Chain A
């Protein structure tokens, strides 16, 4: 639990207060809705691809600060990136949040997203941080609805109740 203090860092609080890329996206090519049924949080992600690049991305929804900041930083990070780079970030973020990689010791491309590393010590909050990434993954694979609890989702990780 010791890391919960570092979780609410200024960068996370700032993205919660002033989320980037917040809102709707007209004529999105890919969309998905993500739910965390355990806490009622939900968010929508919409994006437009230009070739294999994410040209535009936006999100909106109701969620806690961790989820909203994660979504905000995620959209800022993947905008302009290739699909493959986005997939790499999704995988690395998930591995960081679930404690499968140690961002201090192992190579990664997460940059400032490592402010979320502390959630691995808060099992009930891991899903909050992952939900936007989970939803982005669903959008990129044209799954319209996803949930942190859906068993058949490749992003599903049994992490205990939120």
Chain B
């Protein structure tokens, strides 16, 4: 094996130094199974840099109180920090206004919020929702629940053998009854990057709003919701070097204002009597109850950290890793890459001839290599490729070519064990 490792720091003036970045992540220094950790399960959840951990500790140590309520100083500090986090998130995705950023518990809740708040109000019997084969279950099941409740229909955009959406077919699915398009920006199972900007323009020309599942895109590329012109954009904090239990639903203010609240409770009201409740303005209308304040502030610190490195630099580094890994795996006999779209994020799904993905995962783990095995909550994708499951290596900006080599050596070992 003599593939040249890519030179990843070759761009003049680039501040990207993967060794320095890795030093920020305490967990990457560990050996949880006795071998140095090669963490290639970033599409499931990314790791947290010390800067974010420190921010959580500082909040919890010196700034915690409930927000939007009391007049005391700590509550004012916590409120200001929570709202500052919202501002950072708005800037991160280039939202027009910070009130367009709704904190949720994650992508799943964000999509459920759009379904309950917008879908239940504006989608009725006989209406149609367009989804794609590449969706994660979290952008399928809520819409199925809605379709069942309302008697609406779901139409599905097919994919080709490379795992790319068939855009001609997408365009043919539109009818006078189409009320919404739900599309993932990046496929979690295959890494395909979908042409969402083009798809949104097509839908808008027919007056149809578009919800983009950005869970796998936000960590890996510059996301500009104004440039995309998406109506909703959902993503999770824990895939973005932030904490679990926090995520965002971005929505255009005009749409959010017309939406029903999803959860009722404190903080989402202006006044309550037993006769009538007047809802608060956005974003508070959708944030009933005490939110995960620490997690939101931690996520604010995480996007600040990522922006400090630069999303374009992150995308370039990950792309180089993807190309290097793809070239290696393509040359290995008995390895089948699943998902070979032209535009891909750093996700490598693969099948080993004669070896079940769970055995691959367990044996790679023995070498310290953490990958995901299973259906990736994307069973329609698995059905399309006629596999029950795949093994998936997914990269982050802190991964290195040496870790790709560890993956390749690990796969060789699996093949040896099963030979």
* B363 proximity list for chain A (CB < 8 A): 4, 8
| A63 and B356 contacting across the interface, CB-CB below 8 Å | yes
The reply to whether A122 and B374 contact each other, CB–CB distance below 8 Å, is no
Q: Is A7 an interface residue (CB 8 A)?
A: yes
B358 interface neighbour in A1, A5, A13, A39, Cβ under 8 Å: A39
Please provide the chain B residues from 309 to 368 with a CB less than 8 Å away from any CB of chain A in the complex.
Answer: 355-359, 362-363, 365-366
Q: Which residues of A contact B34 (CB under 8 A)?
A: 1-2
Considering only CB atoms, which chain B residue lies closest to A62 in the complex?
A: B388
Bound form: Cα–Cα A7–B356 in Å: 15
A125 within 8 A of B: yes
A66 in the interface (beta carbon within 8 A): yes
State the CA gap A2–B33 with chains docked (Å). Answer: 7
Say yes or no: is A38 at the interface (Cβ < 8 Å to chain B). Answer: yes
Partner of B362, one of A38, A41, A62, A125: A125
Q: Smallest distance from the beta carbon of A125 to chain B beta carbons, Å?
A: 6
In this complex, the member of A7, A40, A66, A128 whose beta carbon has the largest number of chain B beta carbons within 10 angstroms is: A40
**Residue interface bits A98-130, CB-to-B below 8 A is 1, else 0:** 000000000000000000000000101100100
A4 contact set on B, CB distance < 8 A: 33, 362-363, 365-366
Interface string of A1-18 (1 = CB under 8 A from B): 110110110000100100
Task: Answer yes or no: A65 CB below 8 A from chain B CBs.
Answer: yes
Q: Would B375 and A40 count as touching, CB distance under 8 A? A: yes
Q: Tell me the B215-241 residues at the A interface (CB within 8 Å).
A: none
Are B374 and A64 in contact, with the CB atoms below 8 A? no
Residue among B34, B362, B388, B417 with the most chain A CB within 10 A?
B362
* Interface bin, chain A: 20 to 34
Given contacts A64-B359, A65-B356, contact A5 B417 (CB under 8 A): no
B359 and A65 within 8 A (CB): yes
Q: Write the nearest CB–CB distance from B234 to chain A, whole angstroms.
A: 23
- CA A5 – CA B366 in complex, angstroms? 7
B202 adjacent to chain A (CB < 8 Å): no
Question: Is the C-beta of B130 less than 8 angstroms from some C-beta in chain A?
Answer: no
Closest A residue to B356 by CB, please name it. A64
Q: Cβ of B294 < 8 Å from any Cβ of A?
A: no
Q: How far is the CA of A125 from the CA of B358 in the complex (A)?
A: 8
CB nearest to A41 among chain B residues = B388
Residues of B close to A125: CB separation below 8 A: 358, 362
**A40 x B362 contact (CB < 8 A):** no
Q: What are 19 pairs between A and B in contact, CB < 8 Å?
A: A1-B365, A2-B34, A4-B363, A4-B365, A5-B366, A8-B362, A13-B418, A16-B418, A38-B374, A39-B358, A39-B388, A39-B389, A40-B382, A64-B356, A64-B357, A64-B358, A64-B359, A122-B362, A162-B358
Q: Which residue of A lies closest to B387 (CB)?
A: A40
Interface of A, secondary structure class, is: mixed
Whole-angstrom CA separation of A68 from B336 in the bound complex: 22
Distance A144 CA – B139 CA, assembled complex (angstroms): 33
Task: Report the Cα distance A64→B417, complex, angstroms.
Answer: 14
In the complex, chain A residues whose CB is within 8 Å of the CB of B374:
38-39, 162
Residues of B within 8 A of A (CB): 32-34, 355-359, 362-363, 365-366, 374-375, 382, 388-389, 417-418
Q: Which residues of A contact B355 (CB under 8 A)?
A: 65
Across the interface, do B359 and A66 meet the contact criterion of CB distance under 8 Å?
yes
Closest-CB distance, A27 to chain B (whole angstroms): 30
In the assembled complex, the Cα of A1 lies from the Cα of B37 at a distance in Å of 13
Beyond the given A39-B389, A40-B388, A62-B388, could you list 15 further A-B residue pairs with CB under 8 A, ordered by the A residue number?
A: A1-B32, A1-B33, A1-B365, A1-B366, A2-B33, A4-B365, A8-B363, A16-B418, A39-B374, A40-B375, A41-B388, A63-B356, A66-B359, A122-B362, A162-B374
Which residues of the partner chain A approach B382 to less than 8 Å between Cβ atoms?
40
Of chain A, the residue at the smallest CB distance from B373 is A39
Task: Report the 3 A-B pairs with minimum CB-CB distance, sorted nearest first.
Answer: A64-B356, A40-B388, A1-B33
Which chain B residues lie closer than 8 Å to A64 at the CB level? 356-359
Find residues 122-162 in chain A having any chain B CB closer than 8 Å to their own CB. Answer: 122, 124-125, 128, 162
B358 to chain A: which residues have CB within 8 Å?
A: 39, 64, 66, 124-125, 128, 162
A122 neighbours in B (Cβ, 8 Å):
362
A25-46, CB under 8 A of B: which get 1 and which 0? 0000000000000111100000
Closest residue of chain A to B362, judged by CB?
A: A4
Nearest to B32 among chain A residues (CB) is A1
Can you name the residue of chain A whose Cβ is closest to the Cβ of B368? A1
CB contacts (< 8 Å) of A16 on chain B: these are 418
Residues of A52-78 whose CB lies within 8 A of B: 62-66
The chain B residue sitting closest to A161, CB to CB, is: B374
A119 to B352, CA, bound (A): 22
Distance, CA A119 to CA B76, complexed state (A): 52
